[in-house]
Structure formats: C-alpha cells, structure tokens
Structure 1
C-alpha cells in the first residue's frame, strides 16, 4: 500500500514537471513565430489549458490503475471504471461541454484575444489575461482577478479592435451664444487633431487630419439644464481611453479660456418680506 502511495506521488510530481516543461517550450516556440503578439499569447494560453487537462486526465488514470480501480489491459475493468467515471462526470457534463464549445467559438471567431480590454455581459470589465477551455481570466482596474466561465458569456464588448470612435458630450447653458460654443469646440478639435495626429484614423469620408470634428447640437428638448453639444473622433483602439480623457480636459481648458460656462442644475428661490407684501 505504501509503495502504491509513493508511486502515485511520483506520478503527480512527474506530471507537474511535464506540465511546466510544456508551458516553457510553448512560450519559447511562440517567441520565434511571426504571429501578432496578442494572437501568440492567446494561442499559448489555450494550448496551455488543453495541456493541463490532458496531463490531469492521464495522471488520474495512472493513479487509479495503481490502486487497481482501472486496468487498461482488461476490457471489463476498463468499462467498469469508465462507467463510474462517466456517472460522476455526467452530472456536470452539460455545463462543461457548454464552456468548452463556447470557448472554441470565442477563439476561432477571434471575438477577443489576450491583452484586449473587454466588457463581458455588461458586468465584468477588465483586460484579458488568460483564455482557457472552460473559463476566461480578466484583470480589472483594481487589479482584481475575475474568472468568467465561457458558457455564461452572452455578450462581449471589445475595446481593442483596431479603431474606435471617441464620442464626448457636453451641456452648455442656454444663455451662452451657440456660435461661440461651436467655435470653442472647433478649437478643441484642432488641439486633439494635432495631439493625436499619429493615432487618428480617417473616417469613411474625410481627411485623416480632421478626424476630430464637432458633430453639432444633439439635444435641446426636455432638458432645463442646457443644450447638448457633441464632439466625435476616430482613433486607434489602444488610444481610445487616453483620447477620451484628453478631449474632456481640453473642453474644460478651452471653455475656461473663452469664458463659456458648462450647464449645471440651479434653483432660484424668491423670498418676500411680509411688510413688503402688505405694501404691495
């Protein structure tokens, strides 16, 4: 019995060493390939996941064989052992298969890759760190690790697909001169086109140098605060968030310089002294 336990421990140790060796070789292999870096990381993550499950199953079979639960040389014993394993696995088979199939669709359709910034199910937000057969690993803004099963993924918003449109809205008081506001926003667009000239992408029509443009007044109805103006611009996806932040900053700076006031809720209270009311 002690000998079987020792052999089982050795099997797991050897399996662990084999797993680490394969992962190391995979990383070395993908370093000499000519694939895109994110695609390399994605393939490496998936192959590592597949390797883990294969080695785990083989190690489990070898350990069960040591304890004579499964004997691969005898068909009857193998069928009995397989039936027991199948009975246990059958309970979770449906969800496992759903995770695996969904994982393959995500991989081969290139819905996301390692390194992409995504929003999953309109709930989980972060950078993809790992894509496995059964689950997806994200790292959020607080550096917390989020694991989402592939089968539960119903929607993916990917912020890392070549290009994205920056859309910034700002509300300005109705008392402001609309043409003055438009001129100020045009100045913001000129600043953004100059600062991000190496990262802007030409829209379907128009000049790349004028990627950032004033879209115009987009709302004046049913809003007592002020009119809404909109700026748009197309940039490379990895510059989306920095362009969004910079646009908002430039709006504040230019408006302050040009004495344009951003709208905000206000309340006017009119108070009358009783004596004044009687006189009136």
Structure 2
C-alpha cells in the first residue's frame, strides 16, 4: 500500500513537470501572435510562467498529501488539519515570502523593469534582466553568470533601457593646454558623432535629433591638480547608450592625438641623492 502511494506521488510530480513545460510552451506560442512590445511580451511570459509554477506546486503538494491521508479535500476535518499544517509552514516563511511577492508586484505594476532591460540593482548587481518572477528577479551579467535576487531585497533600480539616455563624457586635459584649442577639438568630436553616428541620437516624430552632442564646457578645475575637466553630452536611444559612450571616448583620443593635445595624468619625479665620495668615483 505504501509503495503504491509513493508511485502515485512520483507520477504526480512527473505529470506536474510535464504540465509546467506545456504551459510554458503554449505561453511562448501565444505571444508569437500578439502585437505587444517584444520586451513586454517576454516580461508577461516570465511572470505567467512563475505564477503557473507556484499554482502547480501547491496543487501537486495537496494531491501528494492526500495520497498519504494527510489532506482530504472531500472531508472538512482533514482539510482543516492539512490547512493547519500548511498554515504552520507558511507562518514561518510568510514574512519573507509576502515581502518578495508584494515588492515584485509593485515592480511589475509600475513597469520599473522588463525582460531585456540592462539594470543595476542596489548599486551592486548589474546585468540584463533574464527573468522576472513573483518572488525573484534574475539577471545575466557581463560574464554570463546568472544572478538571482529576491524581490524583497531590491531597494534601488537603475534602468539603462528606458527609451532615452544622456551620454556624459568627461576628459581631463593638462593646464598647459590652450583651453580654446581643447574646446575646438571637442566640438570636432561632437560634429563627428552627430554626422557619422547620427543613428545613435534620439529623434522626435519628425526624425529630428532632440539633443545632439555638444560641448558642455569646463566642469572642474579644483578637485584634481593635474588638469582641467571638460565635458561633452548628447541624448541617445537607450539601447545605443553603451555603443555611443565607447565611440565618444575613442573619437576624443583620435582627435586629441591629431591636434597634439595631451590628456592629463599623474606624474612622479624621483630625486636621487648621493654623497661626495660617490660623486668623485664617477
């Protein structure tokens, strides 16, 4: 009798796993026919898969408990007993679980992140959102490691994928360089970015750039003794941010080298002392 119950429990587990895979497959097929934004579709699919997982898990648990006569859904007394056991287990973990669920709900409801967004969580974890569940969020970082964070532990989110971003690029130049020459060189960099890399720029409905690359000016002459800091800015499409940021830095190096402008860097002078006897030997 016990062996039969164990076999039935195993069958329930296998059937639950198969059912979950079928639901996930059907969800993916369903969203192939929708006209939502791709990231929004992936987010919905991830959330619905997570909800399906927990529903199937709870139902399977009740069915297995029923096989061992712990819970009988047709009898009120055993149902109360089973509910008491489940309630006891839930009471231990409810605080953490409810915090994760509620925080996850607000993240989804406020559309703070979507699957595919590049984000920084708690100023510590960064990567592309791979999965959003009702209890946790998973990222894939630069090294392709998967990072899973409980929703309840998320206190801050920096999203790099919200339609537009401002590229702010700083460069520090020696005080010996002519400031006007430096600004003219940076204006040349901005012209290259606006002409050659026009596709990076954020545009309005008429196809005109909202804010092209331009020289912001001198932004620091006090905090660093080796040189003055100059800044250029430009508003780009969010998914172009990292490409634009890298290209700006490259163009600065190229233009500065062509115009013979030296980027400031710390230098050290070592003074060697030697006595008169050593000097006479020389």
TM-score range, shorter chain: over 0.9
**1:121 and 2:134 aligned:** no
Q: Secondary structure at the match of 2:199?
A: coil
Q: Secondary structure at the match of 1:260?
A: coil
Residue deviations 1:98-147 (CA, integer Å, cap 9, x gap): 10011111111100000000000000000000000100000000000000
- In the TM superposition, residue 274 of structure 1 has moved relative to its aligned partner by 7.0
Which residue in the other structure is 2:247 paired with? 246
In angstroms, what is the RMSD of aligned CA positions? 1.6
Cα distance in 1 between the residues matched to 2:103 and 2:251: 43
- In the TM superposition, residue 268 of structure 1 has moved relative to its aligned partner by 3.8
Which residue in the other structure is 1:60 paired with? 61
Which residue in the other structure is 1:197 paired with? 198
Cα distance in 2 between the residues matched to 1:131 and 1:65: 32
Report 1:220-239 matches (<5 A). 220-239=221-240
Cα distance in 2 between the residues matched to 1:61 and 1:236: 50
Q: 1:5 to 1:270 in 2, by over 3 A?
A: closer
- Contact 2:24–2:49 (CA<8 Å) still a contact in 1? yes
Q: Secondary structure at the match of 2:42?
A: helix
Gaps of 5+ in 1: 276-280
Which residue in the other structure is 1:278 paired with? none
Cα distance in 2 between the residues matched to 1:28 and 1:187: 50
Which residue in the other structure is 1:33 paired with? 34
- Aligned residue pairs total 272
- Contact 1:197–1:209 (CA<8 Å) still a contact in 2? no
**1:138 and 2:149 aligned:** no
Q: Secondary structure at the match of 1:54?
A: helix
**Relative to structure 2, which stretch is displaced further, 70-79 or 260-269?**
260-269
TM-score when normalising by structure 1 = 0.93
Q: 1:270 to 1:88 in 2, by over 3 A?
A: closer
Cα distance in 1 between the residues matched to 2:32 and 2:70: 43
Which residue in the other structure is 2:6 paired with? 5
Q: Secondary structure at the match of 2:147?
A: strand
Gaps of 5+ in 2: 277-282
Cα distance in 2 between the residues matched to 1:179 and 1:195: 24
